[in-house]
Structure 1
Amino acid sequence: MLRITADVFSGRPDPVADLTDEARARAALRELTRDRELFTVPAEAPTGGLGLRGFWLEAFDDELARDFGLGSRLYLPAGAQAPAGRTAEVAERLITLAPWRAAPEEGFAGQTPPVEESFRDFLLGQLAGGGQVSAADRAEPAGGTAAEQPEITCQIEFGAFNPGFWNDDANVRAHNNCYNYASNWRTNTFAQPGRGCGHMYSRITCEEMTRASLCDGMHHRFDCFPDTAKPRYLTALVVIPGGGDFHWYRKQKEGFWGHKPGSTPARNVDNSGHVIYDPEKADRGPYTIFCGYFYGCDSQRRRIR
């Protein structure tokens, strides 16, 4: 079997497409590996960003891997990080080879919502746009933001930016996502809002993601936690229109915001490489809907799964 994984999401596990018929898998690999120079080994995979980053190719038996020189797996950079040449053509072929589905999650089978039928079109759109989103799209009005109440002041804490905690160990980097980062809690489960409280989100909208996050113990901004809930972090939630994925940010002691796009390294810059001082105005790639600000707390982060 040949598995293709789209390196594209931040909150949800990346979707997969499986070629289970060996003849089809071999035919696809013969076509794809004619352009071997387009692929990289895992250690050279891009450091990420929000939106389409690339595709993993992984064989599930050693004979298939040996015959096509796959090693453990190969990576095709795509979107804004792709080199010039035939990369887009090869990536488009990968997108259309097999149906996409939610990746299996160890210990949480069946809990992640299915991949939408429009996911293939979303990938093709990201590919055509080089992974970029126009300024007009980024200016989409916020959805689901709680009414601001500036007369209320809540005491919160700001942790120092420490990306090495998330990035230096490959296992930690691969199995913790933006929700882990926003909660400042490593679970190695690619934590999902609402899973810890037993009522995970059923679709990805501001309203449903907010419900699931509040169920885990988050609060809307200006709904203060007591001192006994320390540490209390300021976070922000965004989603992709149409229910594709979600993404979280956390404000740091230095005044900027940090985040961790999926299994890629934690950082404090947006898709344009600018330090994030305002997540509402940052280049968030396809995550154009701003859902609002929230507080996390110690009991909430200990609950996430």
Structure 2
Amino acid sequence: MLEVELDIFSGMPNPNWVLSNRQEKTLLQLLSNEPSQASSVKLSGNRYGLGYRGLVIRHIKTDDGTWDAAISKGQASFPNEFRVGIKPATSDSAADWLLKTAMRQGVVLADEIWEVVSRGVAVAPVTRGPRDPTAAIDRKRIEVPKIRADVPYKPGVEPHETWWACGSNYFTANAGVFNAPDHVLRNNCYCFASNHLADVRYALPGRRGGRPATSLTCGGVIDGLRADGWKDGCEPNALTIVMVIWPNFDYHFYRLVTGGPYWWWGHKPGGTPAKYTDDCGHAIYQYQGKGYAPNNICRGGYTEFYGYFYQNNWTAFVA
């Protein structure tokens, strides 16, 4: 049994649907005719941005359908999880066909979602200039709290694990930690912004604090942030984030990852790699008040800017 996930959101769960046996047969034929359409689900490159990032095909259950039969007989060979739509097809596109199956499987997508998808995969151009803030930061060992997936959460008890990071004060340029193979798919933008390697794919503002965000509005999400301990505004040497919203659909966060004189920001679009560049390829940093910051960068459909929030902690725990 195959599940299709339309990878388009950063914080909220993506639309998904299950293929029928007949649809599995068609997909198998399309991919067998052109296997190069299937690529790694982890998107190891850093050029993919906010918006449409192809479709993830996931084997969720073994049954007697066409897909499992072909795999078991050695007639086809595909991993249990892969992505289509990243690499262009030279003939019939599996991604284009899969998008049509959404409606047939009862998934209703808003016109704005279709419009974003119609523009193709969000790929940021490569621009010249500094792209990695870690080179100028002294590397040292620090202890950062992390909730492991196999440790049940108990209020007031925070399991700790020591891992390498770059940073000073509360600034930690650690995209590589979140981009490790075991974690890149399992942490969203809120996990990265909170500097919490939570392995919670759809961490939601307020869930940890007991008041999960109930609406994709400024007030709804900010109430969740406050429940998780975030305060409005900025403060020196604090864990600082910025929230933006794609109205009615999704939220996204940026985290300040270095201090001055170069103020670098990072972000993680959903289950794809964290990075220090925006959707236009700009390095997100400012020097002497000039450059790019979350308020003036390319953010795709995330047009609503809702300001700065901070905590006086290395990590803001999320769930």
Place the TM-score, normalised by the shorter chain, in its bin: 0.7 to 0.9
Match of 2:84 in 1: 76
Match of 2:156 in 1: none
Match of 1:221 in 2: 233
Aligned residue for 1:24, secondary structure, equals: helix
1:70–1:175 CA distance, 2 compared to 1 (3 A): same
1:160–1:100 CA distance, 2 compared to 1 (3 A): farther
> How far does the alpha carbon of each residue in 1:151-206 deviate from its partner, in whole angstroms, 9 at most, with x for none?
xxxxx9541412221112x2221211111111111111132101112221122122
Match of 1:93 in 2: 97
1:262–1:43 CA distance, 2 compared to 1 (3 A): closer
1:246–1:43 CA distance, 2 compared to 1 (3 A): closer
1:118–1:291 CA distance, 2 compared to 1 (3 A): farther
Aligned residue for 1:171, secondary structure, equals: coil
TM superposition shift of 1:58: 2.5
Aligned residue for 1:198, secondary structure, equals: coil
Matched, 1:35 2:39: no
Distance 2:268 2:192 in 1: 6
Amino acid in the other structure paired with 1:246:
Y
1:123–1:64 CA distance, 2 compared to 1 (3 A): farther
TM-score when normalising by structure 2: 0.70
Q: Which sits farther off after the overlay, 41-50 or 268-277? A: 41-50
1:11-50 aligned within 5 A: 11-19=11-19, 21-31=20-30, 33-42=32-41, 47=46, 48-50=48-50
Amino acid in the other structure paired with 1:91:
A
Distance 2:193 2:84 in 1: 29
Matched, 1:251 2:288: no
Match of 1:112 in 2: none
1:268–1:176 CA distance, 2 compared to 1 (3 A): same
Identify the structure with the greater strand proportion: 2
Identify the structure with the greater helix proportion: 1
Match of 2:2 in 1: 2
1:272–1:299 CA distance, 2 compared to 1 (3 A): closer
TM superposition shift of 1:235: 0.7
CA contact (8 A) 1:95 1:124 kept: no
Match of 1:146 in 2: none
1:236–1:246 CA distance, 2 compared to 1 (3 A): same
1:157–1:12 CA distance, 2 compared to 1 (3 A): farther
TM superposition shift of 1:261: 1.2
- After superposing on structure 2, the runs of 4+ consecutive aligned residues of structure 1 that deviate more than 6 Å are none
1:132–1:171 CA distance, 2 compared to 1 (3 A): closer
Match of 2:51 in 1: 51
Identical aligned pairs, as a percentage?
29
CA contact (8 A) 1:58 1:70 kept: no
Amino acid in the other structure paired with 1:239:
I
TM-score when normalising by structure 1: 0.72
1:257-276 aligned within 5 A: 257-276=265-284
Distance 1:189 1:214 in 2: 19
Amino acid in the other structure paired with 1:236:
V
Distance 2:91 2:114 in 1: 15
Amino acid in the other structure paired with 1:284:
R
RMSD across aligned positions (CA)? 3.1
- Aligned residue among 287, 297, 303 for 1:288: 303
TM superposition shift of 1:286: 1.8
Match of 1:167 in 2: 179
Aligned residue for 1:207, secondary structure, equals: helix
Match of 1:139 in 2: none
